C-alpha cells in the first residue's frame, strides 16, 4: 500500500508540475544590432521578425514555430534595439506551442523586413541574422545581429530557358518609381531545330507569392527533363509568370492598390515574350494554367480577357465566388472569425475534415508579420486578397475588409470586392462573356480541399450549369477526398494544352 501511495503521490506531483509549466508566462527580450557591413543597407521603418523553432535542420526563418513581430519606425539601426514581449506593441504568434517545453533547446533568428516593393519576408533586400540557440526558460534573453542581406533570385542558365525582365511603364507611373516585371520561358525541345514552326504558348501562373524561378526546380527534376527533351514531349512554349507585389501576390490583375498589373501583363510583358519567341497571336493558341492562387489567376485572366486568352486550366483555384470565401459569405456574414452557429470559423482542414487552423489564428499570424501590425501589408494570403480585391484607404494603404482584431466585416468595403467575384461577373455579363468563354474553361478541385476552396467552385459550377444562350461547356470536375492541388501536374497540363492546340488548324 505504501508503494502504491508513493506512486500515486508522484503522479499527482508530475501532474502539478506539468500544469504549472502549462500556465507559465514565458517572456522574451531580444536585442538587435545592425552589423557594420549592413549599416548602409538598412532602411528605416521595417518589421523586425523573430523566429523560434525546435527544428535544427532548417533556418528558423523557413521553419518558424513561434514568431515575434514589432515595427519601430524611429529606429535608425545606429544603436541596438530591444524587443520585449511584455510591450503591448509587440505581437507574438504561436507562444502556446512552447507550453510544456521548458528546459528544451530552441533555435532563433531575426529577419528585418524592409523591402516595401515585395510584401514577403524571405525576399531580396531584407536583412537577417545568423542562427543562434538558447535553452527555453520563463524569461529568455538574447542578442542577435543583422549580418546578411537576402540576394535577388536568379533564373537558371540553360539553352532552353530564357529569362525576361522589363521595366513596366504602367506600374512605374502608378508607383512613381521604376517597377519591373519578370518571367522565365521554357522552350520546347524542337524549338531550335524548327525555328519557323508555330508553337502554342501557355502562361503558368504561380501559387501564392510564386516566382518565375519555379523553372529552376522544374529543370532540376530528372523525370521532367527526360520527358521534356524526349521525342514524345508536347511542343509547347511554357512561360513561368512572377507574382511579386508590394502587399503580397499581385494576382496579375488591375487593382487600386497594386496598380494596373493586368494591363502591364497583357500589353507589356506578354508582347515582349511573344516577340522574343516568335509566337504568332493570330494562331489563337495562347493559354493559361495554374494551381491554388495560380488557379484563380488562370480563371480570372480568362474571364477578364476573354478574347486575349484561348483557354485555361485551373486546379484548386482560390475562391472564385465570394459568397463562399472559404466558408465565409463576405456580403452577409458579420465576422470572419465565427460562423453563424457561433463556432470558431476554420480556415484549414485535413482531407478527413478535421479543422487544423482557425481564421482567427490565421489573421493573427498575418498581423504579427506585417509592419502595420495588421494583415494589410503582411504579404500573406489575406493581405494579398485584401490589397488585390479592395479599395485604397485614406492613408494610401489597402482598406481593411474586416477588422484585424475582431474579424468584423466592413460591408461597404466587401461590396467593392464584387468586381473580382468571378461568379458574379459571369452572372451579370453572361450574354457577352458566355459566347467568348465557350471551349475555354477547365477546372479541377479536390472535394476535401484543405482551404475549403472547393465550396466556391461547387457554386461556380452550379451557376455555369444553369446558363443558357449559350449553355456553358466549361469542364469542371471534383475528386472525392482529394486535397488542395492534389492532382496538379505540369506534364498533364502541358499535354492537355498541346492536345487543344492541335485541334486548331
Based on the number of CB atoms within 10 Å of its own CB, is 257 exposed (0-12), middle (13-18) or buried (19 or more)? Answer: buried
Sort 23 into a burial class: Cβ within 10 Å, 0-12 / 13-18 / 19+.
Answer: exposed
Q: Which domains does the chain have, with CATH numbers?
A: 23-149 (2.60.40), 161-321+421-502 (3.40.50.1820), 323-419 (no CATH)
Q: How many CB atoms lie within 10 A of CB 45?
A: 12
Report d(CA 17, CA 11) in Å as an integer: 10
Count of Cβ atoms closer than 10 Å to residue 271 Cβ: 14
C-beta atoms surrounding 354 within 10 Å: 9
Cβ burial 201-230 (10 Å sphere, 16+ → b, else e): bbbbbbbbbbbbbbbbebbeeeebbebbee
Q: Measured in whole angstroms, how far is the alpha carbon of residue 369 from the centre of its chain?
A: 14
Answer yes or no: are the C-beta atoms of 66 and 98 closer than 8 Å. Answer: yes
373: nearest Cα among 47, 120, 61: 47
H or E stretch including 349? Answer: strand 346-349
Task: Classify residue 445 as exposed, middle or buried by CB count within 10 Å of its CB (0-12, 13-18, 19+).
Answer: buried
Across the strands, what pairs with 402? 409
With a cut of 70, which residues of the chain have pLDDT below it?
Answer: 1-24, 505
Residue 388: which of 247, 264, 210 has the closest Cα?
A: 247
User: What pLDDT does 99 receive?
Assistant: 84
CA 208 to chain centre: 2
pLDDT for 363 equals 98
Pairing of strands 180-186, 237-241: antiparallel
Rounded distance between C-alpha atoms, residue 23 and residue 171, angstroms: 51
Omega cis (within 30) before 470: yes
479 φ, ψ to 5°? -110, 120
Please, what's the largest Cα pairwise distance for the chain? 93
- Cα distances (Å, whole numbers) of residue 211 to 142, 216, 269, 504: 34, 10, 15, 31
Nearest C-alpha neighbor of 110 from the set 83, 75, 76: 83
Separation between Cα atoms, residue 349 and residue 342, nearest integer Å: 18
Kindly report the length of the chain: 505
pLDDT at 22: 40
Cα–Cα separations (whole angstroms), residue 197 to 66, 190, 274, 278, 462 = 54, 9, 14, 9, 41
Q: List the beta bridge partners of residue 163.
A: 184
Dist. CA 419–CA 274, nearest whole Å: 29
Nearest partner of 294 among 260, 249, 326, 262, judged by Cα: 249
Q: What is the pLDDT at residue 196? A: 84
What phi, psi does 223 have (nearest 5°)? -65, -35
Burial of 332 (0-12, 13-18, 19+ CB in 10 A): exposed
298, 312 contact by CB (below 8 A): yes
Nearest-angstrom CA–CA distance, 104 and 101: 6
Q: Is 176 left (phi over 0), alpha (psi -120 to 50) or beta?
A: left
Sequence-ordered strand ranges (E) for 45-160: 47-53, 66-71, 81-84, 91-93, 105-113, 127-129, 132-135, 139-149
CA nearest 254: which of 419, 428, 427?
A: 419
Amino acid at each position: 500500500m505504501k508503494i502504491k501511495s508513493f506512486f500515486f503521490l508522484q503522479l499527482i506531483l508530475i501532474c502539478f508540475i506539468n500544469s504549472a509549466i502549462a500556465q507559465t508566462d514565458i517572456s522574451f527580450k531580444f536585442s538587435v544590432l545592425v552589423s557594420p557591413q549592413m549599416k548602409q543597407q538598412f532602411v528605416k521603418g521595417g518589421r523586425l521578425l523573430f523566429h523560434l523553432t525546435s527544428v535544427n535542420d532548417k533556418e528558423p526563418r523557413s521553419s518558424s514555430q513561434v514568431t515575434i513581430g514589432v515595427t519601430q519606425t524611429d529606429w535608425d539601426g545606429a544603436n541596438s534595439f530591444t524587443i520585449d514581449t511584455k510591450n503591448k506593441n509587440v505581437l507574438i504568434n504561436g507562444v502556446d506551442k512552447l507550453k510544456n517545453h521548458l528546459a528544451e533547446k530552441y533555435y532563433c533568428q531575426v529577419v528585418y523586413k524592409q523591402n516595401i516593393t515585395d510584401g514577403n519576408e524571405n525576399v531580396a533586400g531584407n536583412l537577417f541574422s545568423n542562427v543562434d540557440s538558447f535553452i527555453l526558460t520563463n524569461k529568455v534573453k538574447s542578442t542577435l545581429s543583422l549580418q546578411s542581406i537576402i540576394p535577388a533570385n536568379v533564373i537558371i542558365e540553360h539553352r532552353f530557358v530564357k529569362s525576361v525582365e522589363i521595366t513596366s511603364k504602367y506600374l512605374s507611373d502608378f508607383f512613381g518609381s521604376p517597377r519591373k516585371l519578370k518571367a522565365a520561358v521554357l522552350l520546347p525541345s524542337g524549338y531550335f531545330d524548327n525555328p519557323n514552326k508555330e508553337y502554342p504558348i501557355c502562361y503558368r501562373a504561380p501559387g501564392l507569392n510564386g516566382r518565375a524561378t519555379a523553372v529552376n526546380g522544374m529543370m532540376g527534376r530528372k523525370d521532367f527533363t527526360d520527358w521534356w527533351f524526349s521525342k514524345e514531349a508536347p511542343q509547347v512554349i511554357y512561360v513561368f509568370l512572377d507574382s511579386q507585389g508590394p502587399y503580397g501576390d499581385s494576382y496579375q490583375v488591375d487593382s487600386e492598390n497594386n496598380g494596373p498589373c493586368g494591363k502591364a501583363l497583357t500589353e507589356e510583358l506578354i508582347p515582349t515574350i511573344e516577340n522574343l519567341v516568335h509566337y504568332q497571336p493570330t494562331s489563337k493558341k495562347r493559354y493559361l494554367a495554374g494551381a491554388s492562387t495560380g488557379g484563380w489567376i488562370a480563371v480570372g485572366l480568362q474571364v477578364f480577357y476573354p478574347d486575349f486568352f484561348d483557354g485555361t486550366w485551373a486546379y484548386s483555384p482560390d475562391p472564385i465566388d465570394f459568397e463562399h470565401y472559404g466558408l465565409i459569405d463576405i456580403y452577409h456574414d458579420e465576422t470572419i472569425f465565427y460562423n453563424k452557429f457561433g463556432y470558431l470559423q476554420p480556415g484549414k482542414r485535413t482531407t478527413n475534415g478535421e479543422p487544423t487552423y482557425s481564421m482567427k489564428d490565421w489573421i493573427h499570424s498575418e498581423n504579427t508579420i506585417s509592419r502595420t501590425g495588421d494583415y494589410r501589408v503582411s504579404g500573406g494570403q489575406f493581405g494579398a486578397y485584401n490589397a488585390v480585391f479592395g479599395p485604397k484607404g485614406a492613408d494610401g494603404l489597402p482598406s481593411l475588409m474586416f477588422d484585424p482584431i475582431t474579424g468584423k466585416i466592413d460591408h461597404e468595403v466587401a461590396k467593392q470586392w464584387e468586381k473580382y467575384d468571378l461568379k458574379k461577373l459571369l452572372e451579370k455579363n453572361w450574354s457577352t462573356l458566355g459566347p467568348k468563354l465557350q471551349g475555354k474553361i477547365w477546372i479541377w478541385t479536390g472535394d476535401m480541399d484543405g482551404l475549403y476552396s472547393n465550396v466556391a467552385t461547387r457554386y461556380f459550377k452550379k451557376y455555369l450549369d444553369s446558363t443558357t444562350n449559350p449553355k456553358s461547356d466549361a469542364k469542371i470536375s471534383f475528386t472525392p477526398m482529394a486535397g488542395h492541388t492534389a492532382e496538379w501536374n505540369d506534364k498533364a497540363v502541358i499535354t492537355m494544352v498541346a492536345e487543344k492546340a492541335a485541334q486548331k488548324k
